[in-house]
Chains A and B, each alone.
Chain A
Amino acid sequence: MNLSFLIHFFLFPGLLFAIPASWFYVWGERKATARMQRRIGPPLLQPFYDFVKLFGKRTPSRHGIEADLLLLWPALSVLSMVSAMAMLPVFSYSQGFSGDAILLVALLEMPSICFILAGFTSGSMFAEIGAIREAILSVACNVVFLLSIVTVAVTENTFRLSDLAGVSWNPGHWIGVFGILLCIPAKLRLNPFSTSSAEQEIYAGPLTEYAGAALAMWELAHGLEWVALTGFVATMMIPVGGWWWLHALLFVVISFAEVLLLSTFAAATGRLTLEGAIRFYWRWAAILAVLAAAAAVYVRFRP
């Protein structure tokens, strides 16, 4: 627990940066979708309005263990996302909350697990259908996600985040980054992989029974997922060295560009069925990911 850790957790890229950034990125997603559909879209402060309004709702009182668990899952998601943000090596020379890519992957997986558990805890039929879909989709996309990280890690010969960060001209690095980008829509439950929270079809998916402050926490966790996942990819695209403020600026610019790219992709595609999504990840993406990882291992360890 040193000063650097506190700065990373509470200031940048932790709480103080991540929460406004999550609102800004969610706005960017909604605005980009609106522009793709030739609409004007929501005002800049819309995610903030939604967040504050949800805190002002009077929620039905629940009793027993479910009541505590239903609050625990969104809180755990927010906490793990802020921790993941604190770990991101935005400044290549300093490491606040030192950890490696394996810890980061575990933290990034937390919201998905909490989402599944929330669906089962709430006991709603629609929530359970959504939770089952999310569980299957998470298994499908994580194969590709983990293999992509392995590809990058083998190319750089390390799992340490500060060494993975930075631009490398090795093709393995970029194939891995592309693989991670390919998995982000499924992790964020965006089109075409939005079956788990399929709006209207299964009401609101695992969050059907959520209301008020707990729902606001979920919206925040989702925004933070945007920031953390795009930020993770952004750290692998920022050149090493240079001024710290340029690093911070590039981090924000690149991750926001990813938000625009992903939401444009989401607006341009329709929702795939669960079978379609699994077929995409296991038949096409997984084969390419296995080939990429194998090639990276061969290049690294060839005699």
Chain B
Amino acid sequence: MNLFKRLMHRCRRKSPFLFHINTGSCNGCDIEMVTCLSPRYDVEQLGIRLEGSPRHADILCITGPVTRNTLEAVKTVYSQICEPKAVVALGSCSGSCNVFAGSPVIVGPIDKYIPVDVYVPGCPPHPDAIIDGIARAAQILADRGVSEAAKGEAQK
């Protein structure tokens, strides 16, 4: 890797912006995720910022088993995030639908529709686990940026 690529890799790893979408979660995971921004856990130390618009984000955090109503919204939001991007599935629901599996209104889990990079199981997951998951996703994101750039050069 040359100097510029190393700088970009470092910057991507150090500054993951999140966009959070609730796909029918009971709000337990959402509360735990917001806890990460609080003084006790303070994810801003890792450069993590919760963004208002998916266009600004790098990492999509998904909570909840996917309900029929939210499926299209999740797909839209996923497509609005600019490359390189990563997806974190927070909680047991987004990983396996949890106790809602088999319900007629649930069409999840989310990895049937969009690629998920990190699963953070738990009902709800501990904030430490969420931070660990986001940090891993940031690493994946940075590596993906480098590999995509290499692929682009190979195509040329």
Whether, in the assembled complex, A208 has its beta carbon less than 8 Å from a beta carbon of chain B, the answer is: yes
Whether, in the assembled complex, A11 has its beta carbon less than 8 Å from a beta carbon of chain B, the answer is: no
Contact with B along A196-234 (1 / 0, CB 8 A): 000110111101111110010000000000000000000
Stretch at the interface among B4-12, B24-32, B107-115: B4-12
Known contacts A52-B8, A57-B82; decide if A215 and B56 are in contact (CB<8 Å).
yes
Stretch at the interface among A35-43, A240-248, A253-261: A35-43
B51 touches A37 (CB 8 A): no
Find B53's partner among A53, A58, A204 (CB 8 Å cutoff). Answer: A204
Whether, in the assembled complex, A46 has its beta carbon less than 8 Å from a beta carbon of chain B, the answer is: yes
Cα distance A212–B58 when bound, in Å? 10
A30 touches B82 (CB 8 A): no
Q: Which residue of B lies closest to A42 (CB)?
A: B44
A204 touches B56 (CB 8 A): yes
Whether, in the assembled complex, A59 has its beta carbon less than 8 Å from a beta carbon of chain B, the answer is: yes
Known contacts A39-B44, A42-B45, A57-B83; decide if A204 and B52 are in contact (CB<8 Å).
yes
- Chain A residues lying within 8 Å of B68, measured Cβ to Cβ, are none
- Which residues from 43 to 62 on chain B have a C-beta closer than 8 Å to any C-beta of chain A? 44-45, 47, 49-53, 55-56, 58
Cα distance A40–B40 when bound, in Å? 10
B15 touches A46 (CB 8 A): yes
Q: Which residue of A lies closest to B85 (CB)?
A: A57
Whether, in the assembled complex, A34 has its beta carbon less than 8 Å from a beta carbon of chain B, the answer is: yes
Whether, in the assembled complex, A178 has its beta carbon less than 8 Å from a beta carbon of chain B, the answer is: no
Pick the most buried of A53, A60, A126: most chain B CB atoms within 10 A of its CB: A53
- Chain A residues lying within 8 Å of B42, measured Cβ to Cβ, are 34, 39-41
- Chain B residues lying within 8 Å of A200, measured Cβ to Cβ, are 50, 52
Cα distance A53–B50 when bound, in Å? 16
- Chain B residues lying within 8 Å of A207, measured Cβ to Cβ, are 53, 56
Cα distance A37–B37 when bound, in Å? 11
- Which residues from 41 to 65 on chain A have a C-beta closer than 8 Å to any C-beta of chain B? 41-43, 45-46, 48-50, 52-53, 56-60
Chain B contact residues: over half helix, strand or loop, or mixed?
mixed
A43 touches B7 (CB 8 A): no
Cα distance A56–B49 when bound, in Å? 17
Find B52's partner among A42, A45, A203 (CB 8 Å cutoff). Answer: A203
- Chain B residues lying within 8 Å of A41, measured Cβ to Cβ, are 42, 44-45
Cα distance A48–B83 when bound, in Å? 20
Whether, in the assembled complex, B145 has its beta carbon less than 8 Å from a beta carbon of chain A, the answer is: yes
Cα distance A60–B54 when bound, in Å? 13
Q: Which residue of B lies closest to A219 (CB)?
A: B56
- Chain A residues lying within 8 Å of B45, measured Cβ to Cβ, are 39-43
B15 touches A53 (CB 8 A): yes
Closest Cβ of chain B to A268, distance in Å, is 15
B12 touches A56 (CB 8 A): yes
Cα distance A251–B7 when bound, in Å? 31
B44 touches A30 (CB 8 A): yes
Q: Which residue of B lies closest to A45 (CB)?
A: B14
Whether, in the assembled complex, B104 has its beta carbon less than 8 Å from a beta carbon of chain A, the answer is: no
Cα distance A41–B49 when bound, in Å? 11
8 more A-B residue pairs beyond the given contacts A34-B42, A53-B14, A56-B12, with a C-beta to C-beta distance below 8 A? A39-B42, A49-B11, A50-B15, A52-B8, A53-B58, A126-B53, A199-B52, A210-B56
In the A-B complex, list the 7 residue pairs whose CB atoms are closest, starting with the nearest: A204-B53, A204-B52, A52-B11, A211-B55, A39-B42, A49-B15, A53-B11
List 23 contacting pairs A-B, 8 Å CB cutoff, sorted by A. Answer: A34-B42, A40-B44, A43-B14, A43-B47, A46-B14, A48-B11, A49-B15, A50-B15, A50-B47, A53-B15, A56-B8, A60-B82, A199-B51, A200-B50, A204-B51, A204-B52, A204-B53, A207-B56, A208-B52, A211-B55, A211-B56, A211-B82, A212-B82
